[in-house]
Structure 1
Amino acid sequence: MIEIIGYLLAGLGLFFVGIHLVDRHLQRMTGRRLRSLFIKLTETWWKAAWWGFCVGAITQTAAAITFVCISMVNSGLLKLRRAITVLNWSNPGTCLLIFFLSLPLDLFVAYIVGAAGLLYSFQSSKHGRDLVGFVFGMGLLFYGLFIMEDYGEQLKDFLWFQEAIASATSSFILTFIVAALLTMLAQSGNAVVLVILVLTASGLLGIEEAVMAVYGANLGASLITHVLTFRLKGTPKQLAMFQVYFGWIGTMIMVPLFYLEHWTGLPLVVSLLEHLPFHAATEIAVVNLLWCLITTLAIAPMEGCFADRLKRWYPPREDEDARRPRFLYPRCEEQPDACLDLIFEEQRRLARRLVMYLEFDPQSQNYRDRVFRFDEDNRALAEEISHYLQLMVNRDLRGETARRLRSLLERMEIIGTLGAELHRTLPRAREQLVGDDSLAHRLLEGFDAAIRTVLDSLETGDEDDLALAHAITEDGSETLSRLRESFIQSAGEYSSSEQAGLMRLVASIERLIWLLNSMTRNLESSR
């Protein structure tokens, strides 16, 4: 008995390590390349459905697909309705994992684990390591399952285990609930379905009990998503809740059909399994696939309605569009000059938002949280703009177009650095405000005038505005002189600790003005 428990724990440990590796490396692989590929593969409903199914079959995890879809919808690269199509059809794809366990793949998996493990240990390439890590995780996942299957079968010889299984399966509803709870505990629907498969193949579960357990595991998977996404808002919440509703709809369809067949003898799922010339393990895989496939087919005609309902029930945040490009669109890089114009408009839009760091009221509720969310939105938008800039770099441009691109790349770096410095400096500066006559207040007031002048010159592009912006931000300008003089004159009014804080603030403001001057020079050179 001790030997059996030891091997079962070893198999379970390998299984969950495999799940962890698969999930971690898949998230690292969901970068720009995969997202760009998704754009091309989801142009039509048929493409979105087909590739959703294929990606589900490859990744075997709905979480990874949901992660990619949320990221793409947030960035404006994928519409909510198309993302729902991808998610809907990815669910049957994730069910294919169960079929592989019923095949004699023990030796093949052993070779995969060994080869991938060696490569994983010595692989230095980041992208190659993620791919090898994914394969290694899948190998461990399967190897752990094979160990559990081999030794789990031996438990049926123990009287106490037979009695425990009998009590758990004395009621179909109890079996359903236990499977759902185990799924939430294991944080994996596939994990529990595979355990059900092992128990059924060992004769510890009858076919009807196994069917209800599979249904419970699928509902449990949706409940996991519900719990994990409880704090999400807006569009991410819409996509996450689609997966939750997928589980509930499947339950409302399949459980009543099960009881209809059980009570009336109408030939449905269980009758189909009895007539299939398959091993018990394969029959469980069929049940799991039927659950996902029937639910997907039921939802398919209502995907548009789902998108509308989800928007109404979980409306996007008021500032959600702030992190999406307003002018740029997929494949605009194919027209370089027009794309550079659009990038310029996006940069102007992002730069205009910088002054809002000065407009948040430090006395308002959740001031720091609001500034943090605002900064996150700006970073997300900056990342999208940088993506299009990189696409333009890859086109190997020449002449005036190449010069414009270099100028926009430099400006993007300045805007990003300026935003990061504002986010780092202003919350601390706000805490040092004592009154309208305080030194910190005068420092921020002077900087406010400087940044608005520079942003006005960016907006208008007027030569006189640029000259004024250059004059008030250059080294040795009146703005910087006033900063230093104000500090020297007021230093005696503060304690040593307050003076140290004000010195840091002066240094930060000087750096911000230097960055503004860099932007002004960039604007002048790009004329």
Structure 2
Amino acid sequence: MTPSGQSLEIGAILMGLAGGLAIFLYGMELLTNALKASTGKRLKNLLARMTTNRFKGVVAGALVTAIIQSSSVTTVLVVGFVSAGLMHLQQSIPIIMGASIGTTITAQIIAFKITHFALLIVALGFAMQFLSRNEVIQRTGTMIFGFGLIFFGMSLMGDATSPLRDYPPFIKFLQEMKHPLYGILASAAFTAVVQSSSATTGVIIVLATQGLISLDQGIALVFGANIGTCVTALLASIGKSREALRTALVHILFNTLGVIVWFWFIPEFATFIRDISPQHPELQGIKRLAAETPRQIANAHTMFNVGNTILFIGFTAWFARLVTWLVPVTEEEKAHKVMPKYLDKTLLDTPSLALDRVRMEIGRMAEHLLPMLRKGVQLAMDGNARELSELNHMDSEVGMLHGPILDYLQELSKGNLSSREAELAHHYLAIASYYENIGDSLKLHLIHVGRKRLAEGLVVGEETRKLIEEMVDTLIQLLEKATQAVTRMNRKPARKVVKAKTEINRLAADIERHVVRRMTADAPRRRLTYQTETELLEALKRVYYFTKRIAKEVLNMDTIKKKEKQETP
């Protein structure tokens, strides 16, 4: 240790602090990614269920975020639910409030002084990762490894900053920083730069462990971290839907208004925190400060967010109206312009959730295909040239979703997928392509049939029209069942689609017999009529072929579950 009054090796301190922070952040990333990969889908279902009232929403948001250690993932899930119409913006706000509470679990964990065991935890986690071939054990090992790195990084930061205890210029600097506004601004700026409130909290607790900051200073720094983390949410919303931007604004307003309210009561808040936190009266001076302050800061972080939630939980409607006023609904939103709605890149490191989003986007492809099938056949039999051109536009809408789905799956496949996730990605890729094939086939054949009919002045017979419409009705029902099988992962409607082959063959045979009878009858231009109506029938048969392929992909997914059970110990 450098004696009082002498200069310090600033380079060594900065190197130790930066290196420790890097290891801390890397450990947080490993832990978070492993937790999201292991529990993401179950937690998504929990969020979906617990939105019946605002208090359940707070609990769900806090629980999910505490487990996966990522309020951004919780926020992304909420945005997806709002976009899908599963909940409205006002319902999502309590979940966002709860997520702010959930993030404080990090501070509670790192306030425990177990840094002496950090390398033992690292070694255990690495051994589980390296020695086992079981995916469950490997992921558990990654969690433990990341957990150990968090504490090892804190240990390095603590060792690096310990000489500052006796360095007068630094002590003088801290004394001059006693005004809470300076601490809030500095902490907010640091959090915005490192993009992690958990990292800021870790540094704050390290400084407290060395006895370098008081509780009042620590509270101001925690307030700043809560404002700085809003920058992360705002940056994450750039380029996303306007629902994402509104959700980010809710986060910003909630945290910033909370800091403004509590700023004027920091001394009273600090007294309350001391009263509810463990005390060590047997110690004096810096030693007592170092023993008590870390836990007090962790408690202050938790109580601040709990207090904010209690304070603002009654104003969710006001928050919703305000952010909607700040980010109004555009004409583009009203027109429901076709563009990917669920493919959020934030979820790419959480494969189970990302695959859910792919499935939801595939469902949107089907929503555009169903009217195309109904209207397209009608236009092929009756439409004029201008109306037939609408089929190009309708198919392009399907393509606007198909391309991004393929790109998203390609990006997802570059990550670390389990065998189950890799197979699901393969099945979804095939399903999306089958939907695209249906659209392309309808466009190609129906436009050709319609234009030939117009060019030759042909008329589709009334009996033929009825038979074709009957087959279209059946195909629409089957395509709906296939889509239901995909979006709900339900084998029952998929089996019905496959079994419908007999019914489709019967309907096709009825049309063929009628067309052949017209061919042999003494009808004008019967050969051209026969060719046109036969091509229309072939287009419908191809629709069933691809619909059946979609259903079979769903049925084949069942083998994934069997493999997963065999791999799980």
Give the TM-score normalised by structure 1.
0.63
Match of 1:97 in 2: 106
Match of 1:193 in 2: 201
Amino acid at match of 1:237: L
Per-residue deviation, 1:189: 1.0
Per-residue deviation, 1:297: 1.0
1:287 aligns with one of 290, 297, 300: 300
In structure 2, C-alpha distance between the alignment counterparts of 1:213 and 1:294, rounded to whole Å? 17
Whether 1:153 and 2:162 are equivalent positions in the alignment is: yes
Q: Is the 8 A contact 2:174 2:213 kept in 1?
A: yes
Q: Is the 8 A contact 2:27 2:148 kept in 1?
A: yes
Match of 1:417 in 2: 433
Match of 1:47 in 2: 56
Match of 1:297 in 2: 310
2:186 aligns with one of 171, 178, 181: 178
Distance 1:225 1:520, change over 3 A: closer
Q: Is the 8 A contact 2:47 2:61 kept in 1?
A: no
Whether 1:209 and 2:217 are equivalent positions in the alignment is: yes
Unpaired stretches in structure 2, ≥5 consecutive residues: 1-8, 280-291, 343-362, 377-387, 408-426, 453-464, 476-503, 514-526, 533-537, 551-569
Whether 1:119 and 2:135 are equivalent positions in the alignment is: no
Amino acid at match of 2:447: E
Which residues in structure 2 correspond to 1:323-472 (within 5 Å)?
Answer: 349-352=367-370, 359=390, 373-375=400-402, 416-421=432-437, 445-446=447-448, 459-461=472-474, 466=508
Per-residue deviation, 1:413: 9.3
In structure 2, C-alpha distance between the alignment counterparts of 1:204 and 1:66, rounded to whole Å? 35
Aligned with 2:164: secondary structure? Answer: helix
Distance 1:250 1:519, change over 3 A: same
Per-residue deviation, 1:181: 0.6
Whether 1:516 and 2:540 are equivalent positions in the alignment is: no
Aligned with 1:104: secondary structure? Answer: coil
- How many residue pairs are counted as aligned between the two chains? 411
Amino acid at match of 2:434: L
2:80 aligns with one of 71, 78, 83: 71
Whether 1:228 and 2:236 are equivalent positions in the alignment is: yes
C-alpha distance after superposition, 1:455-510 (max 9, x if no partner): 96664239897569989xxxxx999x99xxxxxxxxxxxxxxxxxxxxxxxxxxxx
Per-residue deviation, 1:226: 1.4
In structure 1, C-alpha distance between the alignment counterparts of 2:98 and 2:173, rounded to whole Å? 37
Amino acid at match of 1:234: R
Amino acid at match of 1:445: I
Per-residue deviation, 1:220: 0.6
In structure 2, C-alpha distance between the alignment counterparts of 1:14 and 1:129, rounded to whole Å? 20
Aligned with 2:112: secondary structure? Answer: coil
Amino acid at match of 1:25: A
Per-residue deviation, 1:347: 9.3
Give the TM-score normalised by structure 2.
0.59
Match of 2:256 in 1: 248
Whether 1:272 and 2:288 are equivalent positions in the alignment is: no
Per-residue deviation, 1:446: 1.9
Per-residue deviation, 1:301: 1.2
Per-residue deviation, 1:92: 1.6
Q: Is the 8 A contact 1:35 1:72 kept in 2?
A: no
Per-residue deviation, 1:47: 3.4
Whether 1:84 and 2:97 are equivalent positions in the alignment is: no
Aligned with 1:199: secondary structure? Answer: helix
Per-residue deviation, 1:154: 2.1
Amino acid at match of 1:301: G
Per-residue deviation, 1:285: 1.4
In structure 2, C-alpha distance between the alignment counterparts of 1:8 and 1:322, rounded to whole Å? 45
Aligned with 1:461: secondary structure? Answer: helix
In structure 1, C-alpha distance between the alignment counterparts of 2:12 and 2:338, rounded to whole Å? 58
Per-residue deviation, 1:41: 4.4
In structure 2, C-alpha distance between the alignment counterparts of 1:35 and 1:354, rounded to whole Å? 33
In structure 1, C-alpha distance between the alignment counterparts of 2:547 and 2:111, rounded to whole Å? 67
Q: Which moved more, 1:83-92 or 1:47-56?
A: 47-56
Q: Is the 8 A contact 1:226 1:240 kept in 2?
A: yes
Q: Is the 8 A contact 1:106 1:143 kept in 2?
A: yes
C-alpha distance after superposition, 1:230-254 (max 9, x if no partner): 3222333333332222222212212
Unpaired stretches in structure 1, ≥5 consecutive residues: 262-267, 326-344, 381-410, 427-440, 472-476, 483-510
Q: Is the 8 A contact 1:153 1:198 kept in 2?
A: no
Distance 1:74 1:172, change over 3 A: same
Of all paired residues, the percent bearing the same amino acid is 18
Distance 1:232 1:204, change over 3 A: same
In structure 2, C-alpha distance between the alignment counterparts of 1:373 and 1:416, rounded to whole Å? 12
In structure 2, C-alpha distance between the alignment counterparts of 1:183 and 1:128, rounded to whole Å? 33
Q: Is the 8 A contact 2:402 2:432 kept in 1?
A: no
In structure 2, C-alpha distance between the alignment counterparts of 1:88 and 1:210, rounded to whole Å? 22
Amino acid at match of 1:292: N
Distance 1:135 1:422, change over 3 A: farther
